A and B are shown apart, each in its own frame.
Chain A
Amino acid sequence: MNCEHVQRKLAEYSAGLVQGDERLRLAEHLAACEPCRAQLAEYRALDELLAGERVVADEGLVRKVMTEVRVMGAPRRPVWLLSLERVAPLATVAAALPLLALFVLTALNWSSSPAADALFAGVSYAHTISLGLAVGACGLAALFAAWLTWRAAEAVS
């Protein structure tokens, strides 16, 4: 391990971000290398300086926040978010219906039953594909909407 490599790793090493064998190898090199130790000391000095610049928030901050909070009253869940809890199951059903329809249409299209033949009589293959894609897209969009709704409803529960 040469000085160039060690000095490239010093920013991480001094912050405790290097672990395991690599940390041991760096420590070994530092024990024997004065220039690298000097650079490590600079990082340590910076950390101490930054820690020394920490400030303490005065009572004024608490007072200002609490004055505002008391004016606002108890935290409330927005009504529109609360209603999502009721909407979420409906959104899931809305997502399931087009997907179910797509499944049934596909199954019928591939079957050779008289009912399927009657249903798809005169309908071209391209039309069937287009219909399937449209229904599938609606289903996926509704599924995504349902997922968003459940997520939002969960956040307020």
Chain B
Amino acid sequence: MLAIRNPLSPEASLVARTRRGDAGAFEALVRQHKDSVLNLARRMVADCDAAEDIAQEAFIKAYRELHRFRGESAFATWLYRITINEARLYLRGHQRRVARWERQRDLAAAEASAQSPTDDPAPLTELLQELSADQREALALFHLKELSLEEIARTLGAPLGTVKARLSRGRERLRQLARERGLA
């Protein structure tokens, strides 16, 4: 049997019940993590509809691939890794479309910020898209406020020092961008 990190935790119990075919237990897991997964996806791709599709696909993949969850990390960490992979797939698959869309969005954002910088409902989420993918992933996980730096590093499969550097450079770049757009 695999060693669940904390076999007595309510989450481990929900995972075990889901494995036995209890759909209600999986629904509880979905409810527990839906906001974090959606926010993570949203910060990765900015587009609300795409983020919801990514979140949905991440949960379904987690259910289908539950036999692969070894219990060495928290369920959330594993789920976030799936979400990030789904977001990467989305961004890769729609690279050309996204690039075109980003150019249009930049033009629109520049016009909008010149007129009224507060019109955009999520201007910083939009600005995140201008960071490198590595920095964006680190920042999106960091701003969930649920994971330690070590867990973020494990989720991204990167050394701790690298993640720290990505976070630092990402935050610095975000501040510069926010200043340029009159958001800070």
**A residues near B, CB below 8 A?**
11-12, 14-15, 17, 39, 42-43, 45-47, 49-51, 53-57, 60-62, 64-66, 68-70, 72-78, 81, 154-157
CA distance A46 to B2 in the complex (A): 42
Number of residue pairs across A and B with beta carbons under 8 Å?
Answer: 119
B contacts with A: majority SS: helix
- Sample (21) of A-B pairs whose CB atoms are under 8 Å apart: A12-B164, A12-B171, A15-B167, A45-B184, A46-B171, A50-B124, A51-B145, A53-B122, A53-B124, A55-B38, A55-B39, A57-B38, A57-B52, A64-B56, A65-B59, A66-B27, A69-B27, A72-B63, A72-B64, A75-B18, A75-B66
By Cβ-Cβ distance, the 9 closest A-B pairs, closest first, are A74-B21, A11-B171, A57-B34, A57-B38, A11-B172, A53-B122, A65-B59, A11-B168, A77-B67
- Of the four ranges (under 10, 10 to 19, 20 to 34, 35 or more), the interface on chain B belongs to 35 or more
Question: When the two chains form their complex, are residues B60 and A65 in contact, meaning their CB atoms are under 8 A apart?
Answer: yes
Chain B 58-74 interface mask (CB, 8 Å, partner A; 1/0): 01100110111010000
A69 contacts across to B, CB distance below 8 A? 23, 26-27, 59-60, 63
CB-CB under 8 A for A17 and B149, given A45-B184, A46-B171 = yes
Most buried by B among A43, A60, A75: A75
A66 touches B18 (CB 8 A): no
Main secondary structure of the interface of A (DSSP, over half): helix
Chain A residues whose CB sits within 8 angstroms of the CB of B59 once the complex forms: 65, 69
Least Cβ–Cβ distance between B62 and chain A, in angstroms: 9
Q: Does B30 contact A (CB under 8 A)?
A: yes
Q: Known contacts A12-B164, A43-B171: does B30 contact A50 (CB below 8 Å)?
A: no
Return A34 CB to nearest CB of chain B, in Å.
17
- Taking a contact as CB atoms under 8 Å apart, the answer to whether A42 and B67 are in contact is no
Chain A binder among B85-93, B104-112, B174-182: B174-182
Q: Would you call B60 and A68 a contact (CB within 8 A)?
A: yes
Tell me the smallest distance from the CB of B136 to a CB of chain A, in Å: 12
Chain B residues in 8 Å Cβ range of A60: 52
Query: What is the CB-to-nearest-CB distance from A147 to chain B, in angstroms, rounded to a whole number?
Result: 16
Contacts of A45 in B (CB 8 A): 184
- Whether A155 lies near B124 (C-beta < 8 A) is no
